[in-house]
Structure 1
Amino acid sequence: MKFFIDTANLNDIAEAEALGILDGVTTNPSLMAKEKISGDKAVLAHYKKICDITDGDVSAEVISTDFEGMKREASELVKIADNIVVKIPMIRDGVKALAWARSQGIKTNCTLVFSAGQAILAAKAGATYVSPFIGRIDDIGWEGMTLIEDIAEIYAIQDFDTEILAASIRSGKHIIQAAKAGADVVTCGLKAFDSLFNHPLTDNGLAKFLADHAKAAQG
């Protein structure tokens, strides 16, 4: 399973890259705003900085909600770097844009997916990635991981090439569940990845090893 980091923070991206676990980056207008990046030129420049850190796929989101606007934005975004993936919303014109992008050899990430039916539409239109929002589904009382399982089963039966990118991941537990459910990719903040390090037996074991070493060094 691939690890994408969901952020616009350059330090977090660089840290994930240094850990050797980073396969790509996802971001969106909200994450850009969190880093106080505003204005079209500044946003495009920031995407370039992200692409300079990692060779992995970097999802850059369109703002337009009409077909022509999405085509125009996608054409500009892919000029930033070879590893740009255009993030397109799951709406009617978005599906048209996915199909157009496929015809142009542009990689895409279909975002805001909340049902298996939407995931089928995205795959049929040729999306490179489909992004079910697990945490948001859990928030309304449904089971987000069940959706991952359903999409994984359908894609396997139908032999779709689209990769399942589990988004809105809230914790290390979510990462493990997504891996078991059949996600090809998870995207989340650095904090969720960091939580995978944690286990009390690791901490206790390391403390004992260091204490034993200290005793041995004292003779």
Structure 2
Amino acid sequence: MAGMRLAWLTMAVNLAAWAVSLSHAELKTPASGRLCFSSLSSSLLARNVALGQAGRRKTDMGKTRIRCSTPMNGDQEDHPLPTKRPVTQWTMPASSSKSAAAKDKVSLWKQHTLDVPAPSMTEKKGDCRLFLDTANLNEMAELLPLGIFYGVTTNPLLLERAKVPCSHHALQDLAATAFALGSKEFMCQTWGTKVDELVDNGIRLANLDSRVVVKVPLTFAGIEAASMMSNLGIRVCTTACYSPHQVITSVSAGAEYVAPYLGRMNDAGRDGMQSVVDMQKIVDGMRSKTRVLVASIRDADQLAVLAARGCNTFTISPKVARLLTEDELTMDAATDFAKSASSNSADEKKSSLGFSM
């Protein structure tokens, strides 16, 4: 029995000696050549200790990070942790009455309300840009305060109807009024029959304000003028577009907008709705930033249908703009709301808060 114990003891000693010798052996690795096994063991041990002693700290930016108290390679390493949104946890307040319980809940809600920022106006409006097509100051003053219009569009015909001279001076005053009423952009059309005339007037219009977009008709001379002005950094809208292929020309010329005339296409016997949709598909397919600015819209239904089919930029007359704010059922509902609010507010009683949440 004693001999067997001695044999087991001898075997254990030999295994221990073998392990010690193995710990000092050198292992070859393809990547690093020679690697000391004892150094590797020490590094792994140090890493485990470091991870075990890892603590959290708050950075200057308020984000939680992991900080290793014994970093590897002698360098301090910070690893950001994902931040979590605080969650409101409700606890039933101990109160003898429902009114007191409700007050306690309101107080609790105020303390633990999530600080969730509202979406920005850009996020809420998406890619939509709605322009008011007029040169009439009274119509601008009436409709721009609605806050739904991105800008104002004009052309020589609208200027004539509003009895506004087609001059740089008059357009400067008109643009200033539009900007004062909240317009972000103002479009006015250059004039002339030759390229140099179109470019010269376009440059003078662009110099009025950086928010001015110069409209150019899609004639042969107009296309050349549009290209020249785009190369000069002038913002251009090619206008009087009637065919989808003209959108390709506008994109190639560097136009920021291209304005097809929906109503006039229909008047000429063409399928204006489908043509406009095709124009939008061309722009999307070419991955261009050019916007299809749909003009000559005759009613609100056309606007809604085109928006549902992917169009996002429109200019509408004051008549159509008013249609967007009117609906018989909406007016009836608003009247009912006003009556109910009036009858209830007349009998309003001052009382303590007594509701349950």
Q: Which moved more, 1:174-183 or 1:99-108?
A: 174-183
Q: Which moved more, 1:205-214 or 1:189-198?
A: 205-214
Report 1:1-219 matches (<5 A): 1-38=128-165, 40=167, 41-216=169-344
How many Å separate the matches in 2 of 1:26 and 1:205? 34
Number of aligned residue pairs: give it.
Answer: 219
| TM-score normalised by length of structure 1 | 0.92
| Letter paired with 1:21 | I
| Letter paired with 1:25 | V
How many Å separate the matches in 2 of 1:16 and 1:35? 16
Q: Which moved more, 1:176-185 or 1:186-195?
A: 176-185
How many Å separate the matches in 2 of 1:218 and 1:21? 34
| Letter paired with 1:8 | A
Unaligned runs of 5+ in 1: none
Report which structure shows greater RCO (CA 8 Å, sep ≥6). 1
The 8 Å contact of residues 98 and 127 in structure 1, kept in 2 or not, is answered as yes
Compared CA separation, residues 210 and 87, structure 1 to 2 (3 A):
same
Compared CA separation, residues 208 and 111, structure 1 to 2 (3 A):
same
Give the structure with higher Rg (CA): 2
| Letter paired with 1:28 | N
Unaligned runs of 5+ in 2: 1-127, 348-357
RMSD: 1.8
**2:323 aligns to what SS in structure 1?**
helix
The 8 Å contact of residues 244 and 275 in structure 2, kept in 1 or not, is answered as yes
Q: Which moved more, 1:111-120 or 1:5-14?
A: 5-14
**1:149 offset after TM fit, Å?**
0.9
How many Å separate the matches in 2 of 1:208 and 1:55? 34
How many Å separate the matches in 2 of 1:49 and 1:210? 35
How many Å separate the matches in 1 of 2:182 and 2:206? 16
Compared CA separation, residues 152 and 210, structure 1 to 2 (3 A):
same
How many Å separate the matches in 2 of 1:87 and 1:39? 13
The 8 Å contact of residues 152 and 181 in structure 1, kept in 2 or not, is answered as no
The 8 Å contact of residues 55 and 83 in structure 1, kept in 2 or not, is answered as no
Compared CA separation, residues 50 and 197, structure 1 to 2 (3 A):
closer
How many Å separate the matches in 2 of 1:207 and 1:53? 30
